Structure 1
Amino acid sequence: MRILGLDYGDRKIGVAISDAFGWTAQGVEVIDRKRTKDVDARIVELIRELEVTEIVVGLPKNMNGSVGPRGQLSMEFAESLKESVQLPVHLWDERLTTVSAERTLIEADVSRKKRKQVVDKMAASLILQNYLDAKSKR
């Protein structure tokens, strides 16, 4: 059972994967939506390669818990993904994950250029790890 975590953005999609036990999340890659001709095909390829059984998509909510335009786009992406890959797709509150990823990289003294390359992948890892942690507590 491996779970794919996605941090869906306008330009990039951060991708993370769980270990086989569903305990830990690791970043995989960042899909640049402008450079990748067929984003859906790349996601399907990752699902096959990584033997994914379910997917978690980050849902950006406002600080008051409401869903704004950005969240609506993520919900539409998740619904489209669910229909195309025929796997369970879960939405997970991603408030402040990108901020947290950015802070962690700054504390690790990662250069601004390198941070831009990995922040989405790290945010996807945080989204997925938060989901895995909540799932294990149930």
Structure 2
Amino acid sequence: MKINTLLGFDFGTGNIGIAVGQVITRTASALKPLKARDGIPDWDHIAQLIDEWKPDAVVVGIPFNMDGTESEMSRRARKFGKRIHGRFNLPFYEADERLSSFEAKDWAGKLGHHGHYKSKPVDGMAAQIILESWLNDENNTVIIT
């Protein structure tokens, strides 16, 4: 299966960051984050995003601990990815997202963000970082075949 367009997700319990990416350019763009209730999104909104962007697959950031071990959040993020796969029949790929939120906050700060992350979240930027890192990982040959 040829993959051209992907949706990337930065799973969180209050917000879920989203980005859309293209294989040909290996770039992504942040979209407006989704609100979540204890990690549960509005599935209708995700259906609308899938209908709008028509992704060939999704990439979900998995927040491993710094030593590479699993955490409760990594298990929840993986479950979220599996639910997208089950509901929308889209291939689901995992991306190691250690430090993506830190990198997004650093990037946002350089762009003039003043640290009010509740009112101006950077979850979309984190999803963009996750997706672009995955797109540019030489080990992900599945996207080029």
TM-score for both structures, normalised by structure 1: 0.89
Q: How does 1:5-44 map onto structure 2 within 5 Å?
A: 5-19=8-22, 21=24, 23-34=26-37, 39-44=42-47
Whose helix proportion is higher, 1 or 2?
A: 1
* 3-state secondary structure, aligned to 2:116: helix
Does 1:122 pair with 2:122?
Answer: no
The whole-number CA distance in structure 1 between the counterparts of 2:50 and 2:130 is 18
- Residue 20 of structure 1 deviates from its aligned partner by 6.2
2:34–2:41 CA contact under 8 A, matched in 1 = no
SS of 1:112's equivalent in the other structure is coil
Aligned to 2:72: 69
TM-superposition CA deviations, 1:25-72 (whole Å, max 9, x none): 1001100124xx961111111011012110000000000001111101
Partner in structure 2 of residue 82 of structure 1: 85
CA contact (8 A) 1:102 1:115 kept: no
Equivalent pair of 2:28/2:128 in contact (CA under 8 Å): yes
Aligned-residue CA RMSD (Å): 2.1
Alpha carbons of structure 1 residues 90 and 20: separation in structure 2 relative to 1, 3 Å: closer
Check 1:76–1:112 CA distance in 2 against 1; reply closer, same or farther (3 A cut).
same
Change (3 A) 1:127 1:38: closer
Instruction: Give the corresponding residue for 2:96.
Output: 93
Q: Which residue of 1 aligns with 2:48?
A: 45
Unaligned runs of 5+ in 2: none
8 Å CA contact 2:23–2:135 kept in 1: the answer is: no
Query: How many percent identity over aligned positions?
Result: 26
1:57 aligns with 2:46: no
8 A Cα contact 1:55 1:89, kept in partner? yes
Task: Tell which deviates more after alignment, 11-20 or 112-121.
Answer: 112-121
Asked if the contact 2:17/2:126 (under 8 Å) is kept, the reply is: yes
Residue identity matched to 1:74: A
- The TM-score, its normalising length taken from structure 2, stands at 0.85
Output the amino acid matched with 2:33. V
